[in-house]
Amino acid sequence: MRDALLALTDEVWQVSEVMTPLYEGKAKRLYATDDPEILRMEFKDEATAFNAEKKAIFENKGKLNKAITTLIYQMLEEKGVKTHLAGEGDEINLMVRKVEILLVEVIVRNVAAGSFCKRTGVAEGTEFKKPIVEFSYKSDELGDPLINDDYAREMGLASEEECALLKRDALIVNEVLIDFFAKSGLRLIDFKIEFGRLSSGEIVLADEVSPDTCRLWDAKTGEKLDKDRFRQDLGGVMEGYQEVLRRLSDS
């Protein structure tokens, strides 16, 4: 019996090993499922920064980001924000509705950090009166350059109406996330989100929301608990992610 089980496990393992992803990004892979409208999104342990100039593997990063993204998507859905979440999957795989990802990344900033400080010379930690919304062109080749609504329209990435919708939805997501994280003693500094088009044409939140894509500081101490620990060589990268998950699960 045990041997039979082992053989079966082996077989399942081999099958999943040889499955070719439909798409492989820096932090995730997407696989087809039996349902043409549903994909399996696998969270990888690999981490990259500065457009993959810096790379590392962190054990459990996939698990942690999968768990954090799931909690956040479930909470957003409860608040009426539509996402591509389709099912919980397993430890490192999330089931998602198939979308065509818009090549416009939307960044929302509440506090100055990262490339904003580099570009403007404004000191890190400076709080904005109102959130800043930025668009960037999703292109690894070009390093995700900053664009605006006019670029998006002329490049055929999104219409004017779609850009307005992306901005409006990103600000709603920001409000919901600020409150959600605040309950766990976390300050949402900024984040990047992506949107996708369902086969019905509806635009929904897609990709992931995790410490890879959000800057999160401890509300009291200002300690960084996100990917900046990797970008800035602060150490304890997964300890930061684990702490985010622990707090979100407890709240």
Residues that bind ligand TMP in the complex, under the rule CB under 6 A: 107, 113-116, 144, 190-192, 213-215
Q: Of 174 and 184, which CB lies nearer to ligand TMP in the complex structure?
A: 174
Helix H or strand E encompassing 118: helix 114-120
Rounded alpha-carbon distances, angstroms, from residue 83 to 32, 72, 76, 90: 19, 10, 8, 18
| Residue whose C-beta lies closest to ligand TMP | 114
Q: Minimum CB separation from ligand TMP for residue 72, in Å?
A: 14
Q: Minimum CB separation from ligand TMP for residue 11, in Å?
A: 37
User: What does the block give as tokens for 13?
Assistant: 């393992």
Q: Of 9 and 139, which CB lies nearer to ligand TMP in the complex structure?
A: 139
For residue 79, is it left (φ>0), alpha (ψ between -120 and 50) or beta? alpha
Q: Minimum CB separation from ligand TMP for residue 116, in Å?
A: 6
Q: Of 33 and 247, which CB lies nearer to ligand TMP in the complex structure?
A: 247
Q: Of 49 and 198, which CB lies nearer to ligand TMP in the complex structure?
A: 49
DSSP 29-79: EEEE-SSTTEEEEEEPSEEEETTTTEEEE-TTHHHHHHHHHHHHHHHHHHT
For residue 101, list its beta bridge partners.
196
Q: Of 24 and 202, which CB lies nearer to ligand TMP in the complex structure?
A: 24
Q: Minimum CB separation from ligand TMP for residue 111, in Å?
A: 11
Q: Minimum CB separation from ligand TMP for residue 26, in Å?
A: 8
User: What does the block give as tokens for 157?
Assistant: 């990435």
